Structure 1
Amino acid sequence: MKISIITVSFNSATTIRQTIESVLAQDYPELEYIVVDGASKDGTVEILKEFADSIKFISEPDKGIYDAMNKGLKMVTGDAIGTIGGDDFYPNNQVISQVAKAFVEYQTDAVYGDIQFINPDDIHTIVRYWKAGEYSRKNWLQGWMPPHLSFYLKKAAFEKYGEYLTDFTCSGDYELMLRMLYKNNLSAHYLPLTLTTMRNGGTSTASLKHRYRANMEDRRAWKINNLKPNWYTLWMKPLSKITQLFKKGA
């Protein structure tokens, strides 16, 4: 099966080379890589051009990250689709082959795994580990979600149930996965492996504002899908991140 990977980038010149090289180093032969850049002005486009023989890319203004993601979806030709950020990278070169093997072996609609967060100033220091755990539909009611950047979904699911909603600013990934897995009861298989390495962001007033906005959008995600969470569901979601500080990688 063919796997398509999408990166959305904007002014990512300091990190995107590592991202691209980690994708192209994957040992899985049926791999397509697409970068959707938001008209960067910092040298990102020049880096993308260096890899023009190995990747597909566009660079143009967009209406936000989920608009850019949808542009990428329109370009894919693979059977399943995953994403990786412009400042993230794969921890090894077997990630995509493991994902593809799981799709075939378990005949599932989605595959997801774990994510490790590293100190952006020292990529060898892991500061947080998101161990996603085995899939159970009822876990959504406990505030659970799979890590979006370790989440791979069949292209057919996008075609049947829709793309990212562009009127979300930060929880469009949560809404999409909730819609696919919880509302439409698609199947998902958990790979107990680190599938993505992410540079960690700092805790600040801005991030607290972001968390508040995300919580409001999380609530809207349930509402527009005509779903009813438990009274504590959307409080548990951010609280679950605290436990990630004490978990070890696989």
Structure 2
Amino acid sequence: MKVSIITSCFNREATIAHAIESVLAQDFPDIEYIVVDGDSRDRSLQVIERYSDRITRIISEPDSGMYEGINKGIRVATGDIVGLLHSDDFLYATDIISRIVKRFEETGADFVYGNGLFVDANDTNRVVRNWIGGSYSKWKVRHGWLPLHPTCYIRKTCMDRLGLYDESYRIAADSDLLFRYLYEADLKVEYLNEYIVRMRMGGLSTDSKRRKQMWEEDVRMYRSHGMPAVWTKLQKMAWKVPQFVNLGSL
């Protein structure tokens, strides 16, 4: 079973090496690693090219945003399973891809997700939010619950059939895709109760300056799927409360 991991990058010279190295350190032998750079204006591409002999494919060209870059990566991916690692993030442990693949093989899942940690951008050992994925049900999705996007690994055949990210969303394309896959489709979904990723606070969805845009896009997204948009968005926000309560257990 081959795993395609896609990293989309734009002006992330300070963090992209950490992301890349966390993939290259994995003990799973069959990883196709695709890095898509959106024509960065800093030294990101130079950093990426330092690893060119170990990255399966590097794409560097202008794009309209992160989700266009991710879609480019998915379209050229040849793995059985597709996962994402954002350029500010890094995989939690060197055996986590092996554990994900094992869950796919044991259960015949179409979609596997797990847990993640939001960490301080300057001190990645300091946990800011502890995201425990918890069990899956369509009822939970209908009431605003979604798994943490970078913990989700999905069979490529399902992505080809169900469609990729809607690039009209700048922030909520991940929520839209997850809602389509987890609520509107009938996939076999499995929860892996393991930490998969550490995410630096300060990405598109964690920047306070973008929260208004995130609200508007989430409302538009839920409305497009025939949901009570504002109410579902409020429920989505309520699901996040335990992430902060769970910090006491770390």
For the aligned pair, the TM-score class normalised by the smaller chain equals: over 0.9
After TM superposition, give the deviation of residue 145 of structure 1 in Å.
0.2
Letter in 1 for 2:25: A
- Once superposed, what is the RMSD of the aligned Cα atoms? 1.8
Q: Distance in 1 between matches of 2:117 and 2:200?
A: 9
Show structure 1 runs of 5+ residues with no match.
none
Answer yes or no: is 1:12 the counterpart of 2:12.
yes
Equivalent residue, structure 2, for 1:39: 39
Aligned pair count reads: 246
Q: Distance in 1 between matches of 2:12 and 2:146?
A: 27
Q: Distance in 2 between matches of 1:231 and 1:167?
A: 20
Are residues 197 and 208 of structure 1, via their aligned partners in 2, closer, same or farther at CA, if it must alter by over 3 Å?
A: closer
After TM superposition, give the deviation of residue 208 of structure 1 in Å.
4.4
Q: Distance in 1 between matches of 2:160 and 2:229?
A: 30
Superposed, 1:97-176 pairs within 5 Å as 97-176=98-177
Identical amino acids, percent of aligned pairs = 38
Q: Distance in 1 between matches of 2:188 and 2:228?
A: 20
Letter in 2 for 1:71: K
After TM superposition, give the deviation of residue 67 of structure 1 in Å.
0.9
Q: Distance in 2 between matches of 1:121 and 1:176?
A: 30
After TM superposition, give the deviation of residue 74 of structure 1 in Å.
1.4
- Answer whether contact 1:150 1:196 (CA < 8 A) is retained: yes
Counterpart secondary structure, 2:146: coil
Answer yes or no: is 1:245 the counterpart of 2:220.
no
Q: Distance in 2 between matches of 1:116 and 1:17?
A: 19
Show structure 2 runs of 5+ residues with no match.
none
**Residue-by-residue CA offset, 1:217-247 (whole Å, 9 max, x unaligned):** 223223333x434863210212332321121
Q: Distance in 1 between matches of 2:68 and 2:19?
A: 21
After TM superposition, give the deviation of residue 118 of structure 1 in Å.
1.0
**Residue-by-residue CA offset, 1:39-72 (whole Å, 9 max, x unaligned):** 1121111111111111111111101111111111
Letter in 1 for 2:24: L
Letter in 1 for 2:39: A
Are residues 141 and 229 of structure 1, via their aligned partners in 2, closer, same or farther at CA, if it must alter by over 3 Å?
A: farther
Counterpart secondary structure, 2:240: helix
TM-score, normalised relative to structure 1: 0.93
- Answer whether contact 2:222 2:229 (CA < 8 A) is retained: no
Are residues 212 and 230 of structure 1, via their aligned partners in 2, closer, same or farther at CA, if it must alter by over 3 Å?
A: closer
- Answer whether contact 2:109 2:190 (CA < 8 A) is retained: yes
Counterpart secondary structure, 2:164: coil
Counterpart secondary structure, 2:125: strand
Equivalent residue, structure 2, for 1:228: 227
Equivalent residue, structure 1, for 2:195: 194
- Answer whether contact 2:222 2:232 (CA < 8 A) is retained: no
Q: Distance in 2 between matches of 1:134 and 1:144?
A: 10
TM-score, normalised relative to structure 2: 0.93
Letter in 2 for 1:218: D
Q: Distance in 2 between matches of 1:96 and 1:230?
A: 35
Q: Distance in 2 between matches of 1:245 and 1:80?
A: 31
Q: Distance in 1 between matches of 2:153 and 2:125?
A: 26
Counterpart secondary structure, 2:103: helix
**Residue-by-residue CA offset, 1:59-115 (whole Å, 9 max, x unaligned):** 111011111111111121100100011011112101100111111111111000011
